[in-house]
Amino acid sequence: YAPPRPCRRFEAGAGTTFTLPHHHIYVLTNTTAWLEARWGGHLRRTPNLTLHLDEAVKPDPPTTTMPFTKAGGQLRLRVPWPPCHRRGRPPQREARFRRMGDSGWTQVKTPVAGAGGDDGTVVTCPLGGHGAFEVQLRHKLPHWSSYWSDWSSSIFVPEGEEEEGERVGPRQPPKNPDNGAGLLPPAEILASPALSHQLGKLGRDGQRVLRLDWQPATPEQGNVTYMLRARMLACRCAQPPEEDEDEEDEEEEDVTVVRTEVTAHNLTLSGAEYEILLTATNAAGTGPARLLRVPTEHHADFGFEDVTVAGSVVTVRWQAPSPGSIYCFEQQPLPGAPKPGACVHGDFPAKSIHVDTGKGAPRPPSLDTPGCHRLAVHGWSPARGWATFALQHHYSSNASLAVPVRVNASAGDATVVLWWNPSPRAACPGVLVKYLICHAADGDNVTYAEADAKVSHYVLPNLRPGTGYRVGVWEVTTDSEGTCSPWWHFQSKALGSPQGAARKSNLKYLSVLLGLPAIAAVYQLSKKR
C-alpha cells in the first residue's frame, strides 16, 4: 500500500527555466510534472512528464581517446564506462558513421561484443565496406528515465582493411597527402549560404512564422555552426537597458544557433519589418553573411480602438491582448525608410488600456508628412517574444474625397460609363473602403450607388434621353462619413443625336422608294380614264 503523495506547486515567474529544490520533490520514485501558464483569464497546461528523477541523467558524450580495430568491415571499439554508471546492466550505445567526403550519416546500434572490464566494454559497429570513415558515438544509462548524451567528437578511421589481427587506429583526421607534416584543415567558407524562405500571414495573435531553408555545408568545410540573427528595424528595444549600457548596447538581436545537420529553421516574428542575417562558422572562421529583409505586414487591420488626428499629432488608443514588459509604438510614412519607434519599458497586464500621444516617448508621434502612414504597436514578453498588438494604416491629407470623372456617353442611348483614376488613398492599405456614386437629373432627387474600392469605372443605367445630369464619385475611407455630392455636369444622348438622325433619314429614303410605284400606278389609271 502506497499512500497518495501530495502535489507540490512552485511559482516559476516569467522565466523559461526553473530549478526545483531537491528536498521538496520525490527523487526515488516516479514523479509526474507539468507546467501551467496563466495570463488574464487564460490557462494553458503542458502534457505530463513522468520521470524517476534519481535516474533521469544525461551523461557527458563518450571520450574519443579509445583504441579501436577494423577487420572485415567491422569496427570494434573499447568504450569506457560512463562516470555515473553503477555497473550491472551495460549502458545503451549508438554510433553514426559516414565515409570521408559524404554529407549524410548512417546511424546504428552498437551491440556489446564481450564482457566488460574495469576499463569499459567492447562494442561493434558495422561499417559495411572499405575506405576511410568518420565515426561518432553517444550513450545513455539503461534506466528508462535517462537521456541520450550528445554525440561525441569524431573518430577518424583510416582507409585500409586487415582481415586478421588488430590495429590501433588514430583518433585524428587523416593527414593531407600534399603536406605530410600537417593535418588536413577544414576548407574556408568563402560564400554565404544560399537561402530560401516562406513567410506566413500575420495571425490574430499578432505573430507570423518565417520558414528558412539553406544549403548544407560541403564535406570539405567540416563541422559548421549556423547562426541566425533577427532584428526589428523600427523597434530596437528587446530588453530593458542596464544602467551601465549606452544606447548602442540597448539594441537587441534575437540570436539562434543551429547545429551542422540542421538546414532549416522556423522563426516566429511580429508584423514589423525585420532584417535576418545567416552566417556559417567552422574551424577556419566565419563566412560572409546572407541578408534577408522581411517586409512589414500591410494587409491586417486590428487592435486600435480609436485613432484621432489633431493637426499633425496622432493619438491612438489600444488594449493589450496579453501581458508584457515592453511595447513599441511606430508610425511609418509609406513609402520610405523605417523610422525608430518609441519604446516604453514597464510591465503591463493583459486587457490594459493604453493611450499614446507621445507623452514620455522619445519623440511625439506625428503625421507631419501628408500621405500614407502605418501605425503599429508591438509588445514583448519573455515567454512569447515580440507580437503585434495593433496595426492600422492612416492617410493624412486635406485633399477632397471627390474624384475627377470622365463621362463616356457613347455606350448607349440610356447609359453612360464613368471613368476615374484612383487617388493616392487607394494605395494606402485598408484606408479606401469603397466608392460612392451619386447622380441626379436637373430638378430631381439624388440617386446613390456603390462601387468596389478596386474598380475605376461604373455604368450609369436608365438615363432619360437629352437630359442634363449632375454626377459625383467620392471616396469612402475608414474615418470619413461617406458623403457624396453630384457636381460634374453632363448631357445624356438625345433622340435627335446624329446616330438617331441617320436612322430617321434612312426611314424617309425607304418610304420614298416604296411610294414611287404607288404614284406611278395612280398616274396610269388616271390616263386610261
4 is a domain residue: no
Q: In terms of Cα–Cα distance, which of 389, 203, 429 is closest to 304?
A: 389
- CB contact at 8 A, 74 and 124: yes
Mean pLDDT over each residue of the chain, to the nearest integer: 77
User: Which stretch of DSSP H or E encloses residue 499?
Assistant: helix 498-528
> Looking at residues 92-106, what average pLDDT do you find?
84
Task: Tally the domains of the chain.
Answer: 4
Q: What is the pLDDT of residue 383?
A: 81
Same domain, 313 and 434: no
Domain stop point among 336, 363, 396: 396
Give pLDDT tens digits for 474-520.
999 887 878 898 888 888 877 655 544 444 444 444 444 445 455 55
- Alpha helices by DSSP H, 200-319: none
| pLDDT over 90 at 368, yes or no | no
443 is a domain residue: yes
User: What's the distance, Cα to Cα, between the start and end of the chain in Å?
Assistant: 144
Q: Is the pTM of this model over 0.85?
A: no
User: Distance of CA 360 to CAs 316, 364, 367, Å?
Assistant: 14, 8, 18
| Of the listed ranges 15-29, 95-109, 141-155, the one predicted with least confidence | 15-29
Same domain, 484 and 508: no
Same domain, 486 and 510: no
Same domain, 136 and 255: no
Q: What is the pLDDT of residue 377?
A: 93
| Of the listed ranges 8-17, 189-198, 205-214, 419-428, the one predicted with least confidence | 8-17
Same domain, 107 and 169: yes
> Rounded CA gap, 40 and 259, in Å?
37
Q: In terms of Cα–Cα distance, which of 419, 463, 412, 423 is closest to 437?
A: 419
How many residues comprise the chain?
529
> Rounded CA gap, 135 and 153, in Å?
8
Same domain, 392 and 423: no
Give pLDDT tens digits for 418-472.
999 988 888 888 888 999 999 998 888 999 999 998 899 999 888 888 888 899 9
Q: What percent of the chain has pLDDT over 90?
A: 14
Phi, then psi, of 260 in degrees rounded to 5: -60, -45
Same domain, 323 and 420: no
| Of the listed ranges 15-29, 155-169, 331-345, 458-472, the one predicted with least confidence | 155-169
Same domain, 308 and 454: no
* Residue with the larger pLDDT of the pair 172 and 396: 396
Q: What is the pLDDT of residue 142?
A: 83
| pLDDT over 50 at 179, yes or no | no
> Rounded CA gap, 428 and 425, in Å?
5
| pLDDT over 90 at 293, yes or no | yes
> Rounded CA gap, 238 and 272, in Å?
13
Mean pLDDT comparison of 17-31, 76-90, 160-174, highest-scoring range:
17-31
> Quick one: pLDDT band at residue 17, thresholds 50, 70, 90?
confident
Q: What is the pLDDT of residue 67?
A: 79
| pLDDT over 70 at 287, yes or no | yes
Phi, then psi, of 296 in degrees rounded to 5: -70, 160
Q: Identity (one letter) of the amino acid at 39?
A: W
User: Distance of CA 79 to CAs 71, 76, 153, 351, Å?
Assistant: 18, 9, 14, 58
> Rounded CA gap, 340 and 363, in Å?
10
> Rounded CA gap, 105 and 262, in Å?
13
> Rounded CA gap, 110 and 122, in Å?
9
Domain stop point among 375, 396, 417: 396
Domain stop point among 344, 368, 396: 396
> Looking at residues 129-149, what average pLDDT do you find?
85
* Residue with the larger pLDDT of the pair 167 and 412: 412
Q: What is the pLDDT of residue 116?
A: 54
| pLDDT over 70 at 171, yes or no | no
* Residue with the larger pLDDT of the pair 514 and 313: 313
148 is a domain residue: yes
Q: What is the pLDDT of residue 434?
A: 92
353 is a domain residue: yes
Cell of 383: 515567454
Q: What is the pLDDT of residue 361?
A: 34
129 is a domain residue: yes
User: Which stretch of DSSP H or E encloses residue 36?
Assistant: strand 36-39
Q: What is the pLDDT of residue 342?
A: 87
191 is a domain residue: no
3-class secondary structure, 424: helix
- CB contact at 8 A, 449 and 458: yes
For residue 433, the enclosing domain spans 402-491
Same domain, 485 and 509: no
| pLDDT over 60 at 262, yes or no | yes
Same domain, 474 and 517: no
CATH number of 353's domain: 2.60.40.10
Q: What is the pLDDT of residue 408?
A: 84
Phi, then psi, of 422 in degrees rounded to 5: -60, 140
DSSP state of 171: S
Q: What is the pLDDT of residue 165?
A: 34
> Looking at residues 287-295, what average pLDDT do you find?
92
User: Distance of CA 341 to CAs 140, 320, 366, 368, Å?
Assistant: 50, 18, 12, 15
| Of the listed ranges 60-74, 95-109, 248-262, the one predicted with least confidence | 248-262
Strands of 313-319's sheet, edge to edge?
304-310, 313-319, 353-356
Give pLDDT tens digits for 397-420.
777 888 898 988 765 667 889 999
Same domain, 126 and 222: no
Q: What is the pLDDT of residue 290?
A: 92
Q: In terms of Cα–Cα distance, which of 486, 469, 451, 472 is closest to 414?
A: 469
Same domain, 454 and 520: no
Cell of 149: 548524451
6 is a domain residue: no
User: Which stretch of DSSP H or E encloses residue 406?
Assistant: strand 406-408
Cell of 162: 586487415
> Rounded CA gap, 290 and 192, in Å?
5
Q: What is the pLDDT of residue 360?
A: 32
> Looking at residues 298-323, what average pLDDT do you find?
82
